Structure 1
Amino acid sequence: MADTWREQLLPASFRGETFLIEDTSVPVGRKVQLHEYPKRDEAYAEQMGKVARVHKISAFVIGPDCFEQRDRLLKALETEGEGTLVHPWLGQLSVVPGQCEMSHSRREGGMVTFDLTFYPGNAQLNPSVRTNTSRMTAQTSASYWSSALDRYKSAMAKVDTARINLVGLQNRLTSVFSVVTTQFSPLTSAVGSVTSMAQMLMNSPGSLSSLFSGYFSDLGLSSFSSNSSGKTTSASAASFNSYSAALATVSSQAEAAASINTVSAASGADTTAAAQALSNLVQDAVLVQATATIAEMPVAAPPATEETTASLEQQVVAPVERAEVPVANDVIAARDALDDAFWQAALKADATYYPVINAARQQVVRHLTAVAASGVQLVSVTPPETLPALVLAYRRFGDATRDGEVIQRNNIKHPGFVPAVPLQLARE
C-alpha cells in the first residue's frame, strides 16, 4: 500500500536547524509583460523567463526549549551565503535567506513564530581568481624530493663507511626497513632484507636513493627523475579514487613518517650518521609520496541542486547519482596528523633544508584546508525513534542512497535498525 501524502512529508529544516511549518507558498510559472497599443484590439504578451521561486513560509518552533531552538534558527538565518532548505513538500533546495519576521506572544507561551523568506540560490557570481592548490602541491613535491636527495648525498659524503658497524647499522634500520616494505612495496624485492639494505648503504649508498627516484618515476610522476641504470618494478600511475581511500592512505603515511623520525645512537658516530641519513631519506620519501597523494585530491565543486526530491519509491527504481564530497572532519584530522609529521622532520633539519620542508608543509596544509572547506561538516543528530538506515537517510537528506554513509559513519550493526541515539551525520 502506498504511503499517504502525510507520510511522504519531509521534516522541515534550514542548515540543519529544524522547525515546523504552518503553511507555505511560492510563485510559479513564467513572467509575462503585456503590451497594449492605442487604437489596436490585439495585445502582445512578451515572455520574460521563469518566475523566481521566492519561498514564503509561516513557521514556528515549540516546546520547553523553544528559546534555544529559536536562537539556533536565528543563527542559521543570519549567516551569510547559501544554505540547504529541506522543504516538506519540495525536498532539498539551495536558497538564500532574506528578510524574515519573528513574533512572540504571551497567549502562545512556549512557541515562537516566524515569517520566513527564501530566495533561489546559485546566483551568478562575478569572475574571480582561484589558486590551484592541487597543482602547486604537485610542484612542491618534486622540489622537495630534489632537496631530500641532496641532503642524503651530503650526509653520506661525511660518513667513513670503513668505520661502520654492520650489525649495529642493521639493528638501527629495522624500523626503517619495515616502513619501506609497507609504504614502498615494489621496492621490497630490490632491497631484499634489512641486512642487504644495510650492506647497500655501506657499499653503494647512491643505489638506495636511485631506487626511490625510480619508484617515483614509475608512478607516473614525471617531475622525478632516476639516475639509476636499473628500474624498480613497474607501478601504476597515481590516480584519485575516492576521498575516503586517499585520506586513509595519507593517515597511514603520516604515521609511518613519524615512526622513523630518529634512530637510536649506536656505538660509533659513523654508524649512527649513516642510519640517520637513510632514515631521513625514507622519511622524506614517505612525505613526498603523501604530498603527491594529496595533490591528486580535488577541491570538491558545489553540488548541482535539484528543484524537487524524488520519492522513496522512485529512488528505489532509479537511485540518485551523487558525486562524492569530502567530510571536512576527516580531512582536517588527516591534515593535522601530516602537519605534525612534517614538523617533526623540520625540527631536525639544518638552516638550508628547513625552508624546503617547511614550504612543503605549508602547501600541504593549504591544499587540505581548501579541500576541507569544500566538504561537509558532521553534526550530532538523534533520530526520534529506531528507523531503517534507508528511511533515516531519506528523511535527513532526501536521498535514500546515502544509507551506507549513515551505517559506516556510525558503525551500525544492522541497517534495518538504527537506534535512537546521537549519530554523526553530514550537515547537508
Structure 2
Amino acid sequence: MTDTWRERLLPASFRGISFLIPQTSVPVGMKGQLHEFPQRDTPFFEPLGKQSQVHKMTAWVIGDDCFDRRDKLIEALGTPDAGELVHPWLGRMQVKPGECEMSHDLVGGGMITFDLTFYPDVPLKTPAARVNTQAQVVKSSESLLTSSLNRYQSAMGTVNQARLGLLQMRNSLSNVFSVVQQQFAPFVSVFTDVNGFAQSLMNSPGSLSSLFSSYFSSFSGSSFFSSRSGSGYRSAVAAATQQVGAVSSINTVSTIGGTDAVKASQATANLVQDSVLVQIGLIVSEMPVATQPESIESMPSVEQQALQPIVRPDVPVADDVIELRDHLNEAIHDASLKADPDHYLALNSFRQAVVKHLTAVAQSGVRLVDVTPPETLSALVLAYRRFGDATRAPEVVQRNRIRHPGFVPALPIKIAQR
C-alpha cells in the first residue's frame, strides 16, 4: 500500500529551525517575452529560459517557546551563506534567504507569522589555475637554444684555429655531419660534404651558430603535427622519436687527435645535439592535450561509412607518448652530464618542461590492449567490430606491421583501447 500524500510531507525547517507552512509558491515553466503587434491577431512568445526557482512561503512559529524559536529563525535568515531548506512538498534543497517579513498578532496569541523568500543557491566554482605546458616547452626550448649558442661561442673562443687539422676534424665530425644532413635539411646546400663542414668550422666557426640561430627563427613544429590528416600525434611522435636517437648518437666524439681538435669537435657536437633537442621541444609543443571524443551510441553500417566516413578527433596513444617521454628524458640526462653549471640548468629546465607536457598528453590519450582475433579477419572487419569505425583499419595494420590488410592472423595484436 502506497503512502498518502499527507504521510509523505516533510516537517518544514530552515537551518534546523522548524516551523509550519500553510502555503507556498514557486515559479515553474519558462520565462519569456510576449510580442504583440498592432493590427495582428497572432502574438509571438519568445522563450528566454527557465523560470528562476524563487520560493515564497508563509511560515508559522507556534507554541509556548515561539519567541525563542522566532529569534533563532531571525538569526538564521540574517546569515548570508546558503542553508538547507526542508520543503514539505519539494524536499531538501540549498537556498539563500532573501527579503522576509515578520508580523505579530495579539489575537493570534502564541503565533508569529513570517513571509519568507528563498533564492536558489548556485555554488560558485573555485577558480583553478591550469598550467599551459605547451607554452612552457616553447619557452624552455628558446632558453636552451640561447644557452647552447653561448656555450658554443665560449668554447670555440678558447680554440687555437691554427692547430686544427682537416683530417682530424673530418674523422671526429663524421657522425655529427650525418645528423646535420638528416635533421637540418636547409644546411645541405651550405655543407656539401663532411670536408666542407670541417673546413667551414676551421675557417669561420661562428657561421654554424649563425645558421642555427637563423634556422630556428623561422622554424615551426606544426609541419610535423597536422591534425587535418588524422595522424598528427603519430607523425609527431615518430619524428621526435627518430630525432631522440640522433641526439644519443652524437653525445660524445672521438678523443683521438690534438687538444684543440677534440675541443672544437666536442663543442660542435654539443651545439648540434642541443639544436636537435630544441627542434624536438618545438615539435612536442605542437602536441596538445587531447579532448576525449564523445562515444557514438549507434554506429552507422559499413556501407554508410563508405559513403560518409566517420570524422574522429585525433587522440594520442599513451604508450607511444610515454615511450617517447622516457627515451627523451634519458637522452637529455646524458647530455646534461657533460654540461657546465649554467647550461645544466637550461637542460634540466627543458627536461622538466618536456616531461611534464608529455605526461599530460599521455594522460589524455588511450592505452594499447592485447587482442586476439577469433579467426583470420580483414583489418576493416576487425576495426568495425572493435571500434564500430571501419576507417581505423590502417591504424590496426600500421600498429602491428601486418603484411596484408585483408588477412589479420588469429594471433595477439595491439590495438587502442577505444
Fold shared per TM-score above 0.5: yes
Deviations 1:339-375 (A, max 9, x none): 1211111011112211110111111111111111111
The AA in structure 1 aligned to 2:302 is L
Which residue of structure 2 lines up, in the alignment, with residue 195 of structure 1? Answer: 195
For residue 290 of structure 2, the aligned residue among 300, 305, 321 is: 300
The 1-side partners of 2:371 and 2:203 are apart by 61
Indicate the residue corresponding to 1:286 in structure 2.
Answer: 276
Residue 310 of structure 1 aligns with which residue?
300
Q: Distance in 2 between matches of 1:179 and 1:247?
A: 18
Partner in structure 2 of residue 184 of structure 1: 184
* Preserved contact between residue 261 and residue 344 of structure 1 (Cα < 8 Å): yes
Match of 2:169 in 1: 169
Q: Which residue of 2 aligns with 1:255?
A: 245
Structure label with greater radius of gyration: 2
Alignment check: 8 A CA contact 1:219 1:238 kept: no
Map of 1:394-405 to 2, 5 A cutoff?
394-405=384-395
Residue 209 (structure 1) shift: 0.5
Q: 2:341 aligns with which of 351, 367, 372?
A: 351
The count of residues paired between Structure 1 and Structure 2 equals: 295
Corresponding residue for 1:406? Answer: 396
Where do 1:57-72 residues align within 5 Å?
none
- Give how far 1:191 is off: 2.2
- Distance in 2 (alpha carbons) for counterparts of 1:46 and 1:400: 45
Matches within 5 A, 1:343-422: 343-422=333-412
Give 1:118's aligned residue: none
Per the alignment, residue 212 of structure 2 pairs with 212
Counterpart-to-counterpart distance in 2, 1:313 and 1:220: 40
**SS of corresponding position for 2:331:** helix
Question: Which residue of 1 is the match for residue 311 of structure 2?
Answer: 321
| Matching of residues 77-226 of structure 1 within 5 Å | 128-219=128-219
Q: 1:422 to 1:307 in 2, by over 3 A?
A: same
What CA RMSD, in Å, does the superposition of the two structures yield over aligned residues? Answer: 2.3
* Distance in 1, Cα, partners of 2:219 & 2:223: 6
* Displacement after TM superposition at 1:238 (Å): 4.2
**Which of 266, 270, 280 pairs up with 1:276?**
266
Cα distance in 1 for residues equivalent to 2:403 and 2:160: 60
Unaligned runs of 5+ in 2: 1-27, 31-48, 50-124, 227-231
Other-structure match for 1:240? 225
Checking the alignment, whether the CA contact within 8 Å between 1:134 and 1:298 is kept in structure 2 is yes
On the 8 A contact 1:187/1:215 being kept in 2, the answer is: no
Kindly state the Cα deviation for residue 161 of structure 1 after the two structures are TM-superposed: 1.3
**Distance (Å, rounded) in 2 between the aligned partners of 1:258 and 1:239:** 21
So what's the TM-score if we normalise by structure 2?
0.67
Partner of 2:320: 330
Give the distance between the partners of 1:198 and 1:142, measured in 2 at CA. Answer: 27
Point out which structure has higher relative CO (alpha carbons under 8 A, 6+ apart): 1
- CA distance in 1 between partners of 2:197 and 2:410 (Å): 55
Residues in 2 aligned to 1:296 and 1:209: alpha-carbon distance in whole angstroms: 25
CA distance change for structure 1 residues 301 and 126 in 2, over 3 Å: closer, same or farther?
farther
CA distance in 2, matches of 1:193, 1:390: 47
1:201-245 Cα offsets, whole Å, 9 max, x none, are 122111110011111123259xxxxxxxxxxxxxxx746221111
Q: Distance in 1 between matches of 2:164 and 2:271?
A: 18
Q: What's the CA shift for 1:410?
A: 1.7
- After superposition, the C-alpha distances for 1:102-135 in whole angstroms (9 at most, x for unaligned) are xxxxxxxxxxxxxxxxxxxxxxx97643211111
Distance between the aligned counterparts of 2:405 and 2:158, measured in 1? Answer: 62
Go from structure 1 to structure 2 and tell me whether the alpha carbon gap of 1:220 and 1:404 turns closer, same or farther (over 3 Å shift).
closer
Deviation of residue 139 (structure 1)?
1.1
In the aligned structure 1, how far is the partner of 2:163 from the partner of 2:282? 37
